[in-house]
């Protein structure tokens, strides 16, 4: 369904939300761990309820 609607989807662990933003041709990922567990996204560890902004 996501592919048919042409919606970009970023794979992540359950409980991890990722929002992509593009500013002046630079990509930023807002990564939010909404759980009380440690999660990993692209090799970066996120503590419980931790958020980070990653520049690509």
pLDDT number for residue 1: 64
Are residues 35 and 22 in contact, defined by beta-carbon separation less than 8 angstroms?
no
Say if strands 26-33 and 51-55 run parallel, antiparallel, or are unpaired. Answer: antiparallel
Residue 2: per-residue pLDDT: 66
pTM of the model: 0.85
pLDDT score recorded for residue 4: 80
Q: pLDDT digits over 3-50, tens only?
A: 787 788 899 999 999 999 999 999 999 999 999 999 999 999 999 999
pLDDT at 54 over 90: yes
pLDDT of residue 29: 97
């Amino acid at each position: 369904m996501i592919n048919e609607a042409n919606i970009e989807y970023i794979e992540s662990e359950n409980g991890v939300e990722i929002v992509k933003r593009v500013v002046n041709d630079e990509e930023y990922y807002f990564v939010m761990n909404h759980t009380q567990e440690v999660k990993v996204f692209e090799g970066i560890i996120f503590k419980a309820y931790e958020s980070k902004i990653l520049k690509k």
